[in-house]
């Protein structure tokens, strides 16, 4: 039987995960062609920060090297950006003239970094932080210059700041809101995070509105000036102030876009031959930037490309479990609290632990954890299931496997793991449960974290 032609535009984590799922379900249905604008195969963008910090190399964060494409008979075009989609002839055309016909087209064009529209944004030394090229530019700047300013106090900005500090730069983080990571942390947890990062040498300017970037006579940035008149030296400015779905190609092809490429529950666009997954997508009015929802999209998309036709993506209830420069953070739901809610709070600034659980009508509706996040997945499960927690309210703060008392020995982590049910989710990004990990360890005789990661994908995305 003649194979259908599948072309994928974009070569990032969401798109390649779709191909992995498709090859698992129906390895012989398609001739697959992939176009990637970057000169690299599929790498883990989440782990760019360790590369910047000098802890890993580009090779270390590769998820699928060029050999993987060859082994799966996938035609790979690296460094080739698609300029146009011809929906009549069902063909994509790259900027260099390379073409590929398709029966099905998968758009995985990701997102683009938002650049503040301020005077001086085009000066040399002003960059975003999105890909390997940006990372290399920051590493080179750290060799030649001293003063760096990172605009944006979210996860990406803080990781960039920490990496530049480790490379010897004097780093100031500028943030418009009054506390760091305002989408993931409440003010108390954010203050604890800021204090920890200040102890490592980072500087912070919060509640600051950038007015302009000042250049020198050679056209390179030399300072950042704020609306209140304050000016700070800056020979490198990294903008980490958010992302926007990359819809330019889809829009030029006449596909319906509205703050993302609009798709239905089967990940189809308004052209049923064209699918889309990842950060470029708008599903039911929401564009997701976390890896777990993107992988859920990938699974559904692969199901339909494989002609199974039974998967539906109905949106994601998201939680955020992060490690910011070695500090564990977790948040989910309505963690800020508000009208009609109650809060159970444990705060230990000296010990570096903060926990806030938000309850409404005898249900856990939000959680914010700093320093000790081991019970985050359990809290998220309670939140997602909407379980009545009245019977465990008194011991809720102590976690799933420590009812009524803190751990009393170094065996606490083992005790918690042993008490987890097999269907408890251990890796939220890849949807890996405890039972799958235990089964792999027993059946394959796994002995190391790297072995478990390789065979189950647990921790393979966010690390």
How far, rounded to the nearest angstrom, does the alpha carbon of residue 426 sit from its chain's CA centroid? 17
For residue 169 the two structure tokens come to 């730069």
- From residue 294, give the alpha-carbon distance in Å to each of 127, 266, 282, 300, 334: 26, 13, 11, 10, 22
3-class state of residue 235 by DSSP: coil
Query: Range with the lowest mean pLDDT among 5-9, 126-130, 321-325, 366-370?
Result: 321-325
Q: Where are the alpha helices (DSSP H) in 116-242?
A: 132-144, 155-166, 187-199
Name the phi and psi angles at 76, rounded to 5: -115, 125
Contact 27, 73 (CB under 8 A): no
Could you say which DSSP state residue 388 is in? B
Q: Residue range 382-395: average pLDDT?
A: 94
d(CA 301, CA 20): 11
- Check pLDDT > 70 for residue 406: no
Q: Where are the alpha helices (DSSP H) in 2-128?
A: 13-25, 48-52, 66-71
The confidence band for 309, taking pLDDT boundaries of 50, 70 and 90, is confident
Among the listed residues 392, 376, 363, 339, the one whose alpha carbon sits nearest the alpha carbon of residue 462 = 376
d(CA 344, CA 337): 11
Q: Residue range 134-143: average pLDDT?
A: 97
How far, rounded to the nearest angstrom, does the alpha carbon of residue 353 sit from its chain's CA centroid? 24
- Check pLDDT > 50 for residue 41: yes
pLDDT confidence of residue 299: 96
- Check pLDDT > 70 for residue 416: no
Sign of CA dihedral 263, 264, 265, 271: negative
- From residue 404, give the alpha-carbon distance in Å to each of 315, 330, 393, 399, 401: 35, 22, 10, 9, 9
Sign of CA dihedral 45, 121, 157, 242: negative
Kindly report whether the global pTM for this prediction surpasses the value 0.85.
Answer: yes
The confidence band for 412, taking pLDDT boundaries of 50, 70 and 90, is low
All domains of the chain, ordered by start, with CATH?
Answer: 4-112+244-305 (3.50.50.60), 126-241 (3.50.50.60), 319-417 (3.30.390.30), 421-463 (no CATH)
Among the listed residues 13, 248, 18, the one whose alpha carbon sits nearest the alpha carbon of residue 261 = 248
The confidence band for 326, taking pLDDT boundaries of 50, 70 and 90, is confident
d(CA 194, CA 179): 9
List all residues 6 or more positions away from 128 whose beta carbon is below 8 Å from its beta carbon: 113, 115, 134, 238, 239, 240
Query: Range with the lowest mean pLDDT among 82-91, 102-111, 410-419?
Result: 410-419
d(CA 407, CA 231): 49
d(CA 203, CA 233): 13
Contact 208, 128 (CB under 8 A): no
d(CA 319, CA 303): 25
Note the pLDDT tens digit of each residue in 228-271.
999 999 999 999 999 999 999 999 999 999 999 999 999 999 99
- Check pLDDT > 80 for residue 443: no
């Amino acid at each position: 039987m003649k194979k259908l032609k599948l072309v994928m535009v974009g070569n990032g984590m969401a798109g390649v995960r779709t191909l992995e799922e498709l090859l698992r379900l129906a390895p012989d249905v398609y001739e697959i062609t992939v176009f990637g604008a970057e000169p690299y195969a599929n790498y883990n963008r989440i782990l760019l920060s360790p590369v910047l910090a000098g802890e890993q190399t580009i090779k270390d964060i590769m998820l699928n090297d060029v050999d993987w494409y060859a082994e799966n008979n996938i035609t790979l075009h690296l460094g080739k950006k698609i300029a146009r989609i011809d929906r009549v002839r069902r063909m994509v055309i790259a900027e260099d003239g390379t073409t590929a016909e398709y029966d099905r087209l998968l758009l995985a064009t990701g997102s683009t970094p938002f650049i503040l529209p301020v005077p001086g944004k085009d000066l040399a030394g002003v960059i975003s932080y999105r890909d390997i090229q940006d990372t290399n530019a920051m590493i080179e700047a750290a060799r030649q210059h001293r003063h760096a300013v990172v605009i944006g106090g979210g996860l990406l900005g803080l990781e960039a700041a920490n990496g530049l500090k480790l490379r010897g730069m004097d780093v100031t983080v500028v943030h418009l809101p009054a506390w760091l990571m305002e989408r993931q942390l409440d003010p108390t947890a954010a203050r604890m995070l800021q204090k920890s990062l200040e102890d490592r040498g980072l500087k912070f300017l919060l509640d600051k509105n950038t007015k302009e970037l000042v250049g020198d006579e050679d056209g390179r940035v030399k300072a950042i000036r704020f609306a209140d008149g304050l000016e700070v030296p800056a020979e490198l400015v990294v903008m980490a102030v958010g992302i926007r779905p990359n819809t330019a190609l889809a829009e030029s092809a006449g596909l319906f876009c509205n703050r993302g490429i609009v798709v239905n529950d089967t990940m189809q666009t308004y052209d049923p031959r064209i699918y889309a997954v990842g950060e470029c997508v708008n599903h039911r009015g929401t564009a997701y930037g976390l890896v777990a929802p993107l992988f859920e999209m990938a699974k559904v998309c692969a199901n339909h490309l494989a002609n199974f036709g039974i998967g539906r993506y109905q949106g994601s209830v998201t939680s955020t479990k992060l490690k910011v420069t070695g500090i564990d953070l977790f948040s989910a739901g309505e963690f800020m609290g508000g009208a009609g809610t109650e809060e159970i709070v444990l705060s230990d600034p000296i010990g570096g632990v903060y926990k806030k659980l938000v309850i409404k009508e005898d249900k856990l509706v939000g959680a914010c954890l700093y320093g000790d996040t081991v019970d985050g997945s359990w809290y998220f499960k309670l939140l997602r299931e909407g379980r009545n927690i009245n019977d465990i309210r008194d011991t809720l703060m102590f976690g799933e496997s420590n009812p009524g008392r803190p751990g009393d020995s170094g065996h606490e982590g083992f005790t918690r793991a042993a008490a987890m049910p097999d269907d408890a989710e251990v890796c939220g990004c890849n949807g890996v449960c405890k039972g799958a990990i235990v089964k792999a360890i027993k059946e394959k005789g796994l002995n190391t974290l790297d072995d478990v990661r390789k065979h189950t994908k647990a921790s393979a995305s966010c690390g």
